[in-house]
Amino acid sequence: MEEGGMQSAKRLSGIVGIAVMALGAGLTRAATQSVFGVTPDGQVVKQYRLTNARGTEALVITLGATLRSLEVHDRNGKATDVVLGYDTLEEYLDGRGYLGATIGRYANRIASAEFAIDGNTYRLSANNGANSLHGGVKGFNQAVWVADGSVSSAADGVRLKYVSPDGEEGYPGRLTVWVTYTLTNANELKIQYRANSSATTVVNLTNHTYFNLGGAGDGEVLQERLMVAADAFTPVNGDLIPTGQIQPVADTDYDFRAPTELGPRLAAAGDPRVVAAHGFDFNMVLRGHSPHLHYAATLQDPKTGIELRLDTTEPGLQLFTPHFPQGAIRGKGGKVYAGSAAVCLEPQHFPDSPHNRQFPSTVLRRGEVFRSESVYHFRALPEVNHHNSP
């Protein structure tokens, strides 16, 4: 594992997120709460409603510190929910797809469900064949978080806390994690993570929101245009475990350096893994990585005019375009999520970093603080007239 200078850089950039703006008693200016449901073991799951001066609204539930809904206005002023989700707690407890959830302790995959630090080997829960995916059998998406905070902010937000016991899913150390959702009047949804551990461990956090800027459940994302600030990606084997190489995106299916329509790229994909899955599931190596926010990606929908710009402190972006079998998932309002119904843009460290010293380190030592931030900025673009002038 990498140590020294790489460790200090990792501490500054390790949290995916939505910015830390702080909260009194866990809440900022005007977030309102309600009961979303009660788990079978009696834990109350709350829902927080965040709003801003532009009429944008976000719903966050404490199960999995999950972004359940995000309504922004399209070019015609129509409120449009742009993230996939469920109507009931029971559906979230089922855990299908990790829709909108906070992912941890380790987002993405760890090969063979084990890793070693300082000569000690730790065996994890294997829930993806022989590998561990998104924290194991019971990741952070299945935990009930609590509102926590002692600071105030002019923005609307909520800060949630979860304490992962030493040994949970095989990970060492008692890990305390805070996730802050903030909705600003600049139409930014900010997510910030902070964590510390009682013992040396590995940490990789992200948010697993499924975006459809045409409206959740209102068709596919094939017409949406994506640009990613990545000159390279990490190739994987048949189990989606990185080979350890870092390969240029030039002349591959993963070149999104210019705005690219998703549908034609998927249709023309030559990678058999993309063809078999009907979509992408790869880590993009972001350029300009630093402890500070840097540009990661832009997603645009031509129908609604809604644009999402993502900035992050993370070194990687997992590009995931799931393919839902017809009728397999019924989401909010009874809408069926079918085909290429969404795209996930997940800022994070690279998959399987504990086995690849050349990747940015995910080691968190006792006394260090893990921090990360991601900002999702929304705006509505005017309709473009593509016809020639007379």
Q: Which residues are catalytic?
A: 208, 346
The DSSP symbol for 312 reads: E
Alpha-helical segments (H) within 251-384: 262-267, 272-277
CA dihedral 196, 194, 348, 46 (to 10 degrees): 110
Residue 277 zone, left/alpha/beta (φ > 0; ψ -120 to 50; rest): alpha
Three-state DSSP state, 377: strand
Three-state DSSP state, 194: strand
Give just the sign of the alpha carbon dihedral 229, 317, 47, 97.
positive
The DSSP symbol for 63 reads: B
Residue 278 zone, left/alpha/beta (φ > 0; ψ -120 to 50; rest): left
Q: How many CA atoms lie within 13 A of 99 on its CB side?
A: 30
The DSSP symbol for 196 reads: E
Do residues 310 and 348 touch, judged by C-beta distance below 8 A?
A: no
Integer Cα distance of 261 and 281 in angstroms: 17
Give the residue from 102, 283, 309 showing the smallest Cα distance to 192: 102
- Tell me: cis bond preceding 105? Omega within 30 of 0 counts: yes
The DSSP symbol for 144 reads: B
